[in-house]
Structure 1
Amino acid sequence: MDSIRNPFAPGAGTPPPDLAGRDELREALRVAIERARIGRPAKSAMLVGLRGVGKTVLLDRVRADAEAAGIHTIRIEAPEGRSLPALLAPQLRQALLRLSHLQAAKDIAIRGLRALAGFASMLKATYNDIEVGLDYDSEPGLADNGDLEHDLQALFEQVGLAAKAADTALVLFIDELQYVDEDQMAALITAMHRTEQRQLPIVLVGAGLPQLRGRMGNAKSYAERLFNFPEIGPLPAAAARRAIVKPLADEGTAIDDDAMDQLINVTEGYAYFLQQWGYYTWETASASPLTLKDVNQATAIVVAALDESFFRVRFDRLTPKEKRYLRAMAELGAGPHRSGDIATGYPAKVTSLAPTRSSLIAKGMIWSPNHGDTAFTVPMFDQFMKRIMPGEDWRKS
């Protein structure tokens, strides 16, 4: 098979050749954004799911859909160790500058830039990673109290007023939102609540791991009423089949039914894994149609590739105690598992492992579906842990 023509895209956030199984959600988000543009009530959305389900890809596709419809957007990723104000300020500046070039919104957008100047100047002492160009002097009393929750509301109001004057909407796309500190999360939720109360055309589309729902609820109790939380999971069999069959067909290539069934089985329908197995099955095959033998030969290559990249990059961030905790989890299977069962396998008291569990949650490695339960955020990580820490020696470390 011609490697140049390989249609699959195995990368972090890399758009697949066919975004199968997400049309209904894309349409729901399109409707919400358009309702916001015309001043109708519209819920923002938080896309939640495990690693590898395609949240980032979906986030970027929805953004492309919005921009194609003339909606203004900003896109940020919330990595560990960066403050939300530092991430938002430069992007909001760009949005306000774009709006200021529209005659209908010019004056309001300039006032928004003055609000941004006050916001950045007063909060820089608290969030010293804020770096943003200031195009206008601040306006005394506008978003300059030095209190994030109050000032972010004022800033969002000015941005929303500018977008409304321009007869458009602004959509904030924020990936990895679970890494935002709780006080900053609370300020973001409060600001979005205020724009909804004033029916201003600002929509927030976030993405994060499953614990995001709980973290937002802890930050502000009304978050679950303010946002929709669509769960992004593995693709149903029909959508998983389409994600493989259509790109192959576009290249004049077919796949045997038993080979396709095996691909669905080994990938468990996870979008990222479908792209990995599709890519290496193409590379392994010598001719169309792709066969079960091709899939099986590709599997060893895929597992090695995942171990060295997708899984290993997460494993290397862990402390020895955290690795041992995850290995104890893996011994029990994919999960979720009760904390007491993990402690028994470790072995240690549940209370002594609580800090380790908390640090793994903070790192985005595990989450708690229910009180006392623990589950991996990375699909198939239990299998990887058994491969990288085989045997029983891990119990003695």
Structure 2
Amino acid sequence: MSPAASGATTTAAVQHRCGSTVGLTAFRSVAHPSRGSTDVLPSRSGVHIGGPEPSTSTQLLLYEAPGCPAGDPQSVPDRLEQATPREPSLSRGNPQVTGCPPVVPKLSPGPGWLRAHADAQGALSGPWFAPPGRWPLHDPGRPGSSITSSRALGRWVPNPFDDLTIGGGALAAAANPFRPGMGRIPPDFGGREDALLRARIVVEQLAAAVAPEFVLYRGVRGVGKTALLAYVRQRARELGLATIHVEADRDDTELARATSVLFRGLEDVAAAAPGLSLAGLATVRSGSRGPELAGRADAERFEGLIGDLAELAGRSSRGVLLTIDEVHEAGDVLLGPLLRAAHAAAQDDRPFGVLLSGLPTAAENLFDEGQTYTERLARVDLGLLDRAGTAEAIRRPFDRVAGASVDVAVLDAVHDASGGYPWFVQLWGEALWDLATDPLHIELPVARAAGARVRVRVDDFYATRWRRVPSGRAQLLVQALAEQGGEAAMGDLLEVVDITHQAASPARRSLLDLGICWAPQRGRLAFSVPGFERWVLATRPAEV
């Protein structure tokens, strides 16, 4: 598919690597701007992304033409006229192209590329001049400088690395404030004002060396528990508090790892207050190189170490905030000694605060048993965002970071599609920002494009959740629950799967422990993530 002679112009169908015949290309001998030599090249080669041949109702013709100074008789428009194909297209059914339009825009001097559209009747629109680097040429001498085709529009689009407007680009990607990663602090805790207020009171009391209330945040996975704890620690450090974070581990039955984290925190508290006396502590002694931990790793030492931390907080008049995430993993093994020690510290009015987070099942045994040390443990349940919370979580970051407004219709669409699940809301925010076409206004067309991107991520998320469901009765319960709309009474589910309550109990417990389901009320079961039931019904995943 090469021209017959140097300087000649010919038209041919381009056979791309995928085998599809796509568009027309004009060939002629030119001085290539990047190589400074004469070579016969297609005016534009590209990488066609799969699928059938694009529509031929609109074809994009690109002509390679180095720009010339204004007034030069060998001007770019002249060269375009010479390069215009005049023989019938070899692409199926495309009429003959007849030539350039009479009006040619003024062109800038210097190397560049011209492009023109030919419609089904053969009329050319354009040409337009593109400066160097704006519309990259793809050839073996310039690896990576490729273009792709858009099947829906039957046109060529440039490489997104070379044209930052591709796929939106109205807002700087580096400034995107949305954080859809699990546990990452979002730009705005829309709908979580009550939870934040409770945490702020704890932090302010600690800053005033006052013993605060202990708080347990409970909710299904993905509602922002971990991110909220991280944010509160950040704000506490800004006020000069010492912060310690423990992630509970069900394999840490002797609490050795949790004890190690606590001891490092105690060392930091002691180091920040030179001369602080360690006398009279239960588990810590003064050593040649600083504090030393005595005793063997067990729940008793863990409980004693918490008491020592609280005592040092009082002696140094510096509040200490302890956050513990995933408390359901360790359960009462960790919570029992923790709350006993924290309760004793509160009775002595030590500035020692505790914020915990876990699944809805966290601490249910302690509350059911009516332990006295749970009296100071406030429960805050984090559920799905309501419509107003979703709107604020999207609207405020756009307004604060970019000064952009978001249409009410877009905010409603995000809530309806996400179900108010905070992680999904962050996915939507990220996509809306990346695909924005107007730096000051986000409208429904952007939301439609964002929805296509988000659906891919969400479907992958659902598939991963399904793979975590144990085979057998647990999968039967999940499928039955999907058929019931995502929430149902256990009695109704047992009728569907035809098993006894005793036989279904281990499967139910595994679904609760894995966070696949939760119990909104006694005797009921529900999926913890909105939309999972629709995915299960639509895909009918096979048993593993």
Indicate the TM-score class for this superposition, using the shorter chain for normalisation.
0.7 to 0.9
CA contact under 8 A between 1:369 and 1:375: conserved in structure 2? yes
CA contact under 8 A between 2:217 and 2:355: conserved in structure 1? yes
Partner of 1:293: 445
How far residue 290 of structure 1 moved from its aligned partner, in angstroms, is 2.4
After TM superposition, list the pairs within 5 Å mapping 1:8-87 onto structure 2. 8-36=178-206, 38=208, 40-83=210-253, 85-87=255-257
More deviation, 75-84/342-351: 75-84
Task: Call closer, same or farther: CA 1:178–1:116 in 2, change over 3 Å.
Answer: farther
Task: Call closer, same or farther: CA 1:67–1:232 in 2, change over 3 Å.
Answer: same
CA contact under 8 A between 2:418 and 2:530: conserved in structure 1? no
How far residue 112 of structure 1 moved from its aligned partner, in angstroms, is 6.6
Give 3-state SS (helix, strand or coil) of 1:228's partner. strand
2:522 is equivalent to residue 350 of structure 1: no
Partner of 1:128: none
CA contact under 8 A between 1:153 and 1:194: conserved in structure 2? no
| Post-superposition CA distance 1:171-193 (Å, at most 9, x none) | 11111111113233222222222
Residue 337 of structure 2: which of 187, 207, 226 is its match?
A: 187
TM-score, normalized by length of structure 2? 0.62
How far residue 220 of structure 1 moved from its aligned partner, in angstroms, is 5.8
Give 3-state SS (helix, strand or coil) of 2:309's partner. helix
2:389 is equivalent to residue 239 of structure 1: yes
2:421 is equivalent to residue 270 of structure 1: yes
How far residue 135 of structure 1 moved from its aligned partner, in angstroms, is 5.9
2:482 is equivalent to residue 326 of structure 1: no
Structure 2, gaps ≥5 residues long:
1-167
CA contact under 8 A between 2:332 and 2:363: conserved in structure 1? no
2:336 is equivalent to residue 166 of structure 1: no
Give 3-state SS (helix, strand or coil) of 1:211's partner. coil
> For residue 273 of structure 1, what is the amino acid of its counterpart?
F
Task: Call closer, same or farther: CA 1:193–1:237 in 2, change over 3 Å.
Answer: same
> For residue 327 of structure 1, what is the amino acid of its counterpart?
Q
Residue 96 of structure 1: which of 266, 269, 282 is its match?
A: 266
How far apart, in 2, do the equivalents of 1:255 and 1:103 lie? 50
Give 3-state SS (helix, strand or coil) of 1:351's partner. helix
How far residue 267 of structure 1 moved from its aligned partner, in angstroms, is 1.7
How far apart, in 1, do the equivalents of 2:199 and 2:265 lie? 20
2:423 is equivalent to residue 253 of structure 1: no
How far apart, in 1, do the equivalents of 2:286 and 2:371 lie? 28
> For residue 268 of structure 1, what is the amino acid of its counterpart?
G
**Root-mean-square deviation over aligned CA pairs:** 2.9
Residue 370 of structure 1: which of 518, 521, 537 is its match?
A: 521
2:457 is equivalent to residue 305 of structure 1: yes
Partner of 1:201: 351
How far apart, in 1, do the equivalents of 2:524 and 2:285 lie? 45
How far apart, in 1, do the equivalents of 2:520 and 2:429 lie? 31
Give 3-state SS (helix, strand or coil) of 1:320's partner. coil
TM-score, normalized by length of structure 1? 0.83
How far residue 162 of structure 1 moved from its aligned partner, in angstroms, is 0.8
Residue 217 of structure 1: which of 367, 371, 382 is its match?
A: 367
How far apart, in 2, do the equivalents of 1:237 and 1:187 lie? 40
| Post-superposition CA distance 1:234-286 (Å, at most 9, x none) | 33433322221222232243322212221122222232111111222334443
How far residue 357 of structure 1 moved from its aligned partner, in angstroms, is 1.0
Give 3-state SS (helix, strand or coil) of 2:381's partner. coil
Partner of 2:377: 227
How far residue 164 of structure 1 moved from its aligned partner, in angstroms, is 0.9
After TM superposition, list the pairs within 5 Å mapping 1:120-199 onto structure 2. 144=295, 148=299, 150-199=300-349
> For residue 444 of structure 2, what is the amino acid of its counterpart?
L
| Post-superposition CA distance 1:321-347 (Å, at most 9, x none) | 222321211111121x21111122223
How far apart, in 2, do the equivalents of 1:382 and 1:109 lie? 59
| Post-superposition CA distance 1:75-122 (Å, at most 9, x none) | 1222443347233222222222122224466222895763699xxxxx
CA contact under 8 A between 1:78 and 1:84: conserved in structure 2? no
CA contact under 8 A between 2:418 and 2:425: conserved in structure 1? yes
Give 3-state SS (helix, strand or coil) of 1:230's partner. strand
> For residue 45 of structure 1, what is the amino acid of its counterpart?
V
How far apart, in 2, do the equivalents of 1:116 and 1:218 lie? 41
> For residue 431 of structure 2, what is the amino acid of its counterpart?
Y
How far apart, in 1, do the equivalents of 2:351 and 2:322 lie? 11
How far apart, in 1, do the equivalents of 2:478 and 2:254 lie? 30
CA contact under 8 A between 2:310 and 2:352: conserved in structure 1? yes
Give 3-state SS (helix, strand or coil) of 2:276's partner. helix
Partner of 1:279: 430
How far residue 12 of structure 1 moved from its aligned partner, in angstroms, is 0.6
| Post-superposition CA distance 1:140-190 (Å, at most 9, x none) | xxxx48762x43332222111111111112111111111113233222222
> For residue 478 of structure 2, what is the amino acid of its counterpart?
L
Percent identity, aligned pairs only, is: 25
How far apart, in 2, do the equivalents of 1:57 and 1:355 lie? 31
The structure carrying a bigger strand percent of its residues is 2
How far residue 207 of structure 1 moved from its aligned partner, in angstroms, is 0.9
Question: How many correspondences in the alignment?
Answer: 370
Give 3-state SS (helix, strand or coil) of 2:186's partner. coil
How far apart, in 1, do the equivalents of 2:370 and 2:256 lie? 21
How far residue 307 of structure 1 moved from its aligned partner, in angstroms, is 2.2
How far apart, in 1, do the equivalents of 2:444 and 2:423 lie? 20
| Larger-gyration structure (1/2) | 2
> For residue 88 of structure 1, what is the amino acid of its counterpart?
A
